[in-house]
Structure 1
Amino acid sequence: MAKSKALKKRQKLVREGRLNPVASRSPFSQLDLRTRKTKTKKDHLYRTKHKNRPPYNRENDSFYFAN
């Protein structure tokens, strides 16, 4: 696998006796802090709440005639 330019620069710094930037990173940078959960029944229902609905039914509309 090829080495990236950034990795080559880090390795050169270590060879020259300087500090590796990876060592000063926060330990939280490696953690996945997202909370994952499976979808509930309600989530599945809300996903298709307004899709492919028939248009508003107008069978019982009233008429207004102004004279």
Structure 2
Amino acid sequence: MQELIIVHLNGDKKVIESNTPVSTALTKWELNQGKFALAINNQFLPRSQYTSYQLKPNDCIDLLTPVAGG
């Protein structure tokens, strides 16, 4: 059985198995659709790394959606 950890998604606590790839977490949380940028601990994570970056305890994940304006 995997250890459960707490991460923070846009300020909300989420419980997930340790070493879960970002791509798997987004699917689990039904956030794998749409246009957004993702930062972990204030560092942007390229989409190409979503499958390789494994979440760690207390990671802070921020999903940022584009805003139109001028």
Looking at secondary structure, tell me which structure has more helix per residue. Answer: 1
TM category, shorter:
under 0.3
Larger Rg: 1
Question: 1 or 2 for the larger relative contact order (CA 8 Å, sep ≥6)?
Answer: 2
Looking at secondary structure, tell me which structure has more strand per residue. Answer: 2
Q: TM-score, normalised by structure 1?
A: 0.23
Q: TM-score, normalised by structure 2?
A: 0.23
